[in-house]
Structure 1
Amino acid sequence: MPFNAKSGKFNANINTVELGCGDKKIAIGGENVLPFYTFDAPVENAPKVGVEITDGILENEPECVKKYYEGCESIADMAKKAASLEGVDFLCFRLEGGDPNGADKSTEELIGMVKEVAEAVDLPLVIAGCKNAEKDAELLAKAAEVLDGKNAVLLAAKEENYKTVGAAAGLAYKQIVGAESAVDINLAKQLNVLLSQLGVSSTNVVMNVGTAAAGYGFEYVVSTMQRVKAAALSQNDNMLQMPIITPVASEVWGVKEAVASEADMPEWGDAEQRGIDMEVETAAAVLASGSNAVILKHPVSIATISKLVKELV
């Protein structure tokens, strides 16, 4: 009896969202098949890979990453170097120094650095906050203003600050709003509904549904992403049809497998290779689970994932 393959193509689509402007602009989403199911239908917009830098410049970077930015003395220098790395589609600037419980840098200082980054590179920009909802509301609203016309992603609006971030980024300056939830499909949908009720167009929203480093409760990440994609495509749920962007770097480069020294853990082998392995494994897994873009840190990880995507799409 002949085998008749059934198509996994759906009638619904993930929204297409454009990031950036000019010749370097990119698009994510748009697919109507499960991740990498190109045998069922073409994937018009391949997953994208971003590089993360922070306002600390080289101060808080892993030793194995610092060598790639040797000679960079300013955030503009680092942004230019990051943008030139193999496989980079966009640049993420994380304002981690704004955390009131950390360096507590002023909004004026950090927004000045946002301007420097924007002037230094022509890649699409993602501006990520400091993970403090109140400070992020102030930072991201100001960033949306100074990046007017750049079609940047402001990552991330949370339930605690979505009105401020959504109004500034999604309404006043027509930027892309990154909706961040904590690894739960219901929370992800609820935040998208709230942004929609605020007046933000669904085509101006991307989701960060949460992540973790591989091995750290990662099964919850996988199941959440898979459920989001299944609801979006098979159930045509338009409140879950926003593309997913996943900040892998900020999770991976904080776990012991990536940062423990060889002196402390000699049996674990080369420290740099461990970090790269953790980042590649996590990025590959979230892409296979439904993420449309990943944010990485190590240049080797970026080049590896970029090559993986090109081979599969």
Structure 2
Amino acid sequence: MPFKKTPQTFSAAIKAVEIGTGDKAITIGGENVLPLYSFDAEIANAPKIGVEILDTGFENAPAGLKAFYEGCTSMADMAKKAATIEGASFICLHFEGADPNGADRSVDECVADAKAVAEAVDLPIVIMGCKNNEKDSDLFNKCSEALQGKNILVLAAKEETYKAVGASAGLAYGQKVGAESSVDINLAKQLNVLLTQLGVKQDSIVMHVGTAAAGYGFEYVVSTMERIRLAALGQNDNTLQMPVMTPVASEAWNVKEAIASEADMPEWGDVETRGIDMEVVTASAVLAAGTNAVILRHPQSIATVSKLINALM
């Protein structure tokens, strides 16, 4: 008996969210099939890749990454360099230096960097904070004001900060808002409901449902993403029909496989290659599980994941 293929499509669809302006603006989401199921129906908006730039620089980065940004003296310089990477669709400014327990860079310093980057490149911009709720709320508010009209995404509003971030970024300044929850479908849904009740439109929300490096409790991340996609499409749950963005770099480059020296672990091989492999494997897995955009750091990782996406689309 001949095999008859039956495409699996859904009447429901993921919301399409646009980030950035002009010719370089990107749209994530919009599909009505399971992740990467382009053989069932056309996926108009392929998954996107962002380049993470650290405000603390890359002095302690692996040799290849450090060499790539050699000569860059500011975040704007790094952004211009990152914009040349094939496969890069947006720039992610990670202000980890704002952490009060770290470099404690002022919000004004960070905002000045963000403005300089916006003037230097025309790619869409995503802003990540330092995981300190008070500092991040102030940072997102002032970046949203300074970059009004740029249609940026602030990543992200949490249960503790959604009112401040949602009201400033999403309502006052018309930016896109990331909704960050901790690897739990119910928490993700609750935060989306809270943001929409606040007045943020669904097509202005991008979910960040949590992440981890492959092998580090990663099955919880994958199962959460899969459950969210199945509920959004199969059950037509419109509170979960927002696209997902996953910061991969900050997790992948901080596990032992990516940082243990070759002197300590000679049997593991080249340390930079290990980090690239960890970043690629993690990104590939979350794309297959349902994320619409990943944030990576190494040019070689970006090139590899970009080839994968192109081959599957």
So what's the TM-score if we normalise by structure 2? 0.98
Structure 2 partner of 1:138:
138
**1:127 to 2:122 alignment:** no
- Residue 61 to residue 119, structure 1, CA distance change in 2 (3 Å): farther
Structure 2 partner of 1:40:
40
CA distance in 1, matches of 2:98, 2:255: 22
Q: Residue 251 of structure 1: CA displacement?
A: 0.5
**1:260 to 2:260 alignment:** yes
Deviations 1:184-209 (A, max 9, x none): 00000000000001000000000000
5-14 or 15-24: bigger deviation: 5-14
CA distance in 1, matches of 2:2, 2:79: 56
Structure 2 partner of 1:175:
175
CA distance in 1, matches of 2:142, 2:62: 29
Structure 1 partner of 2:166:
166
CA distance in 1, matches of 2:103, 2:27: 35
Counterparts in 2 of 1:67-146, with a 5 A limit?
67-146=67-146
Q: Residue 301 of structure 1: CA displacement?
A: 0.2
Structure 2 partner of 1:64:
64
CA distance in 1, matches of 2:117, 2:55: 10
Letter in 2 for 1:111: V
So what's the TM-score if we normalise by structure 1? 0.98
Query: SS at the partner of 1:41?
Result: coil
Letter in 2 for 1:256: K
Query: SS at the partner of 1:219?
Result: helix
Query: SS at the partner of 1:216?
Result: coil
* C-alpha RMSD of matched pairs (Å): 0.9
State the 4+ residue runs in structure 1 displaced beyond 6 angstroms: none
Deviations 1:227-276 (A, max 9, x none): 00000000111110000000000101111101111111101001111111
Query: SS at the partner of 2:73?
Result: coil
CA distance in 1, matches of 2:61, 2:143: 23
Query: SS at the partner of 1:186?
Result: helix
CA distance in 2, matches of 1:40, 1:32: 10
CA distance in 1, matches of 2:71, 2:81: 10
Letter in 2 for 1:75: M
Q: Residue 58 of structure 1: CA displacement?
A: 2.5
Structure 2 partner of 1:199:
199
